[in-house]
Structure 1
């Protein structure tokens, strides 16, 4: 009980800091079952994992890149006459059973969207719900995390009603082989679907704004050169539109939250002429057929370098490979692919002045086609502390 009390005091003492939580609404949950007891406070994270050898739980917040400024928990409305705040982080919580044979856990994320006004004048907020299943087996050699994001916006207008729904998957699977030359295999799977449904005068109309599929397959290799551990890996990644509906290569439910502020107005305009129905305009555009589907493909050899001392640990990951982007076109079925170098440099530094207290730094620069280029380099792209706690 004393340990729980001390942990609670630590949480409350820094709850007002501009930092965020433990697990986001993505495959980062794969670490939940293997994380030891800890309290973490970084620029984008704030949370803890606590438990014993059998039962463990987690609670925290994660930024997910949302908000008017990185590291801002509350986003202030720009309308001075109608003052309100949007709470931007993702709230995460989870519970798990762990053992050497098999470990299983369930998690949940709630990501709250911008405050928006319905047609009847009522204010509300959209929420992305993300149930998560995590499972480890064979003494943690096999690991998987499957989060599914879902958001739905619904409104009515003079006998008509409509809704938009976005569903996305960001799953990860890992297998640790135990072999020195091929220690690890990873597979990431991504799927997104964003559609609408509306009813006007008893007539139903539904369609798809966007649908995408992607994967990231990685083979890791291993070697030692003096005191430096080498872990090179080969990454093959693909993201693309399914069908010929749009130019977007990756759809997520959290991105669809950006539409909630304008949803009511768009719904009214879409019902303006029942004889000429239109779809609400969204982040991902309409459902008009495209002549050429959009996609991107990356093949990138990457070298992971790890070095440790009693106080400082360094991980550095440079990569250089080939990137092919097909931007897609609504009018031209002969649009050409764009070839370029895929490059990046990523680094982590862990400083441990005390056995159970760790200071973390992260830096990143790349031209990633799927996630958006990160330039220039910012040394403190993420920083913060991890306090490793004893077992309960």
Structure 2
């Protein structure tokens, strides 16, 4: 039991970067266990409030990448919403907890995404399930419909050999009358052998990921990278064209896919006024773009993620996060950071 409680605590700290105002993916995973707080960050704004049994949330998150922006003016003064709006309600108890969330995301003038989310926790929060449903709403093209989900299941085992397991399930489909594009993916994470050395908590883990297109085979090659084709989202608007035997267009000989294996390490240390979380990783990746003329691409992947929390007052937290990792884009390195405050509030 002691091992289980420590594991849940440390994972709560390491995943707190998404526990604020919830995005349109599996960010809602931690809503059922979050404490009352007010959050103001470069990418999030909102609150969680409740009385220990019933809680609610309302806020914004920069899912579209516009840090610091909630709304802006574009195209001659037209108003654009640059952040996902989230609201949710939950019932919590030791035996079972359940919640419902909703996100509205403005993609552009022709597309919105509505995301209802279902969450459930059981076994004193040892088992957690989060299922979001991204549903595209095309404003100017009734021909387009789309759905995607990035569902997550977590289980904290309470034993040291494998102290936690996570399963991510991705599915997406973009549909037009003429054709459709779909993908499916799984990611499995095993956390094992946690230990403490000189007050530093250490937990190794390994990630195994497989993403694949489902229906590209036999269709004409389109101008989309493999990462997009194997992980289709409701807002991608991907359209394959069926191959015409009288044309010389290149076709997909097989469905594109990505296989990745990544060992990583969780490191956590704290004191009365500061806490630090650091997560380095290095892995191996196989990419196949499905084209007849192509071979398997083999790549080394790497990444580093860190969080720093400073507590100038008991219930006030200054937060900074930073992540850097390798990329398959023309820019070989991706960098992301965010900062802000959390003000923890008493129960109502």
Matching residue of 1:32: 31
Matching residue of 1:294: 256
Matching residue of 1:328: 290
Q: Structure 2 stretches of 5 or more lacking a match?
A: 1-19, 244-251
- CA distance in 2: counterparts of 1:57 and 1:291, whole angstroms: 49
Out of 211, 215, 225, the residue aligned to residue 182 of structure 2 is 211
1:281-317 per-position Cα deviation (integer Å, ceiling 9, x unaligned): xx52423352232111110100111111111101111
Matching residue of 2:106: 112
1:37 positional shift: 0.4
- Where does 1:237-252 land on structure 2 (aligned, <5 Å)? 237-243=209-215, 244=217, 245=219, 247=226, 248-252=229-233
1:225 positional shift: 1.1
* Residue 363, structure 1, aligned to residue 322, structure 2: yes
Query: TM-score, normalised on structure 1?
Result: 0.75
- CA distance in 1: counterparts of 2:330 and 2:279, whole angstroms: 18
When residues 372 and 137 of structure 1 are mapped into structure 2, their CA distance, relative to the original with a 3 A threshold, is farther
Out of 106, 130, 134, the residue aligned to residue 119 of structure 2 is 134
1:373 positional shift: 7.3
Matching residue of 2:68: 71
Secondary structure in 1 aligned to 2:109?
Answer: strand
Matching residue of 2:165: 185
Out of 328, 332, 342, the residue aligned to residue 301 of structure 2 is 342
- CA distance in 1: counterparts of 2:35 and 2:345, whole angstroms: 8
Secondary structure in 2 aligned to 1:232?
Answer: strand
Q: Do the aligned residues in 1 keep the contact of 2:64 with 2:107 (CA within 8 Å)?
A: no
Secondary structure in 2 aligned to 1:29?
Answer: helix
Greater gyration radius: 1
1:377 positional shift: 4.6
Q: Structure 1 stretches of 5 or more lacking a match?
A: 1-20, 117-125, 157-161, 198-205, 257-282
* Residue 93, structure 1, aligned to residue 97, structure 2: no
1:52-85 per-position Cα deviation (integer Å, ceiling 9, x unaligned): 1210111101111344xx322224324x4xx312
- CA distance in 1: counterparts of 2:107 and 2:281, whole angstroms: 35
1:323-352 per-position Cα deviation (integer Å, ceiling 9, x unaligned): 1111222xx2x5211001111111111111
Q: Give the paired residue count.
A: 311
When residues 373 and 137 of structure 1 are mapped into structure 2, their CA distance, relative to the original with a 3 A threshold, is farther
1:155 positional shift: 4.6
1:113 positional shift: 2.8
What RMSD, in angstroms, separates the aligned Cα atoms of the two structures? 2.0
- CA distance in 1: counterparts of 2:56 and 2:331, whole angstroms: 35
Matching residue of 1:284: 238
Secondary structure in 1 aligned to 2:176?
Answer: strand
- CA distance in 1: counterparts of 2:116 and 2:330, whole angstroms: 26
Secondary structure in 1 aligned to 2:29?
Answer: helix
